[in-house]
Amino acid sequence: MSAPPFARRSSATGVSVATLCLTAFVVMVDTTIVQVMVPDLIGDLGAGLDQVLWVFNGFVLVYATLLITAGRMGGIRGPRRLLLEGLVLFTVASLACGLAGSVTQLIIARVLQGAGGAMIVPQSLTLIAMLFPGNRRGAALGAVSATMALAAIVGPVGGGLIIAGWGWRWAFLVNVPICLLALALTLRHVPDLRPDRRQVLDRGGVVLASAGLVAITYGLVEGPRHAWGAVAGPVTIPVVFAAGLALLLAFLWWERRHADPLMPLALFRHRSFTVAGLLACVQFTVMLGLMLVVTLHVQGVLGGSAIDTGLVYLPMAAMAGVLSPLAGWLTDRVGGGLIIMGGLMAMAAGVGWFALVAAPSTALSHLAPPLALVGAGVGLVMAPASAEAIKELPAGLVPAASGVLNTGRQLAGMLGVALVGAIIQIGVPLQAAAGLGGRAGPQGEAYASAFIAAERPALTVLAALALCAAFGAPLLRSRSRARGDRFTPMSP
Note the pLDDT tens digit of each residue in 314-335: 888 889 888 888 888 888 888 8
Backbone angles phi, psi at 467, to 5 degrees: -65, -40
How far is the C-alpha of 114 from the C-alpha of 330, rounded, in Å? 33
How far is the C-alpha of 89 from the C-alpha of 105, rounded, in Å? 16
Identify any residues that bridge with 436 across adjacent strands, giving them in sequence order: none
Collect all residues with Cβ–Cβ distance below 8 Å to 9 and sequence separation of at least 6: none
* Mean pLDDT value of segment 199-203: 77
How far is the C-alpha of 37 from the C-alpha of 470, rounded, in Å? 37
Q: How confident is the prediction for the chain on average, in pLDDT?
A: 82
What distances in angstroms separate CA 159 from CA 29, 169, 178, 293, one per listed residue?
A: 9, 10, 15, 20
- Give the rounded percent of residues in the chain with a pLDDT score beyond 90: 27
Q: pLDDT confidence of 345, banded at 50, 70, 90?
A: very high
Report the amino acid identity of residue 257: R
- In angstroms and rounded to an integer, the radius of gyration of the C-alpha atoms of the chain is 22
Collect all residues with Cβ–Cβ distance below 8 Å to 386 and sequence separation of at least 6: 125, 141, 144, 145, 276, 280, 405
How far is the C-alpha of 43 from the C-alpha of 45, rounded, in Å? 6
Query: pLDDT at position 332, please?
Result: 81
Question: Nearest CA to 405 among 149, 71, 159?
Answer: 71
What is the separation, in whole angstroms, between the first and last Cα of the chain?
22
Contact 293, 104 (CB under 8 A): no
Query: pLDDT at position 34, please?
Result: 74
- Asked if pLDDT for residue 7 goes beyond 70, the answer is no
Contact 380, 342 (CB under 8 A): yes
Contact 324, 21 (CB under 8 A): no
pLDDT tens-place string over residues 68-77? 888 888 888 8
Q: pLDDT confidence of 461, banded at 50, 70, 90?
A: very high
How far is the C-alpha of 149 from the C-alpha of 138, rounded, in Å? 16
How far is the C-alpha of 492 from the C-alpha of 34, rounded, in Å? 39
Q: pLDDT confidence of 439, banded at 50, 70, 90?
A: low
Query: pLDDT at position 250, please?
Result: 94
Contact 30, 117 (CB under 8 A): yes
Query: pLDDT at position 404, please?
Result: 87
Return the minimum-mean-pLDDT range out of 137-151, 224-238, 280-294.
137-151
Question: Nearest CA to 437 among 213, 39, 429?
Answer: 429
Report the amino acid identity of residue 5: P
How far is the C-alpha of 286 from the C-alpha of 291, rounded, in Å? 9
* Mean pLDDT value of segment 358-381: 89
Question: What superfamily does domain 9-190 belong to in CATH?
Answer: MFS general substrate transporter like domains (1.20.1250.20)
Query: pLDDT at position 64, please?
Result: 85
Query: pLDDT at position 88, please?
Result: 96
DSSP string, 174-236: THHHHHHHHHHHHHHHS-EEEESS-----HHHHHHHHHHHHHHHHHHHHTTTTTTSEEETTEE
- Asked if pLDDT for residue 176 goes beyond 90, the answer is yes
> Half-sphere exposure of residue 34, counting CA atoms within 13 Å on the CB side?
26
161-181 burial, b at 16+ Cβ within 10 Å, e below that, comes to bbbeeeebbebbbbbeebbee
- Asked if pLDDT for residue 2 goes beyond 50, the answer is no
CATH 3.30.1380.10 at 266-481, yes or no:
no
Q: What is the DSSP letter of 486?
A: -
In this structure, how many other beta carbons lie within 10 angstroms of the beta carbon of residue 453? 12
Query: pLDDT at position 207, please?
Result: 92
- Asked if pLDDT for residue 467 goes beyond 90, the answer is yes
Query: pLDDT at position 435, please?
Result: 47
Query: pLDDT at position 195, please?
Result: 60
Q: pLDDT confidence of 35, banded at 50, 70, 90?
A: low
* Mean pLDDT value of segment 379-386: 88
Q: pLDDT confidence of 444, banded at 50, 70, 90?
A: low
Q: pLDDT confidence of 130, banded at 50, 70, 90?
A: confident
What distances in angstroms separate CA 97 from CA 55, 104, 122, 157, 406, one per listed residue?
A: 10, 10, 23, 19, 25
Query: pLDDT at position 482, please?
Result: 42
Query: pLDDT at position 153, please?
Result: 67
- Asked if pLDDT for residue 486 goes beyond 50, the answer is no
Backbone angles phi, psi at 346, to 5 degrees: -65, -40
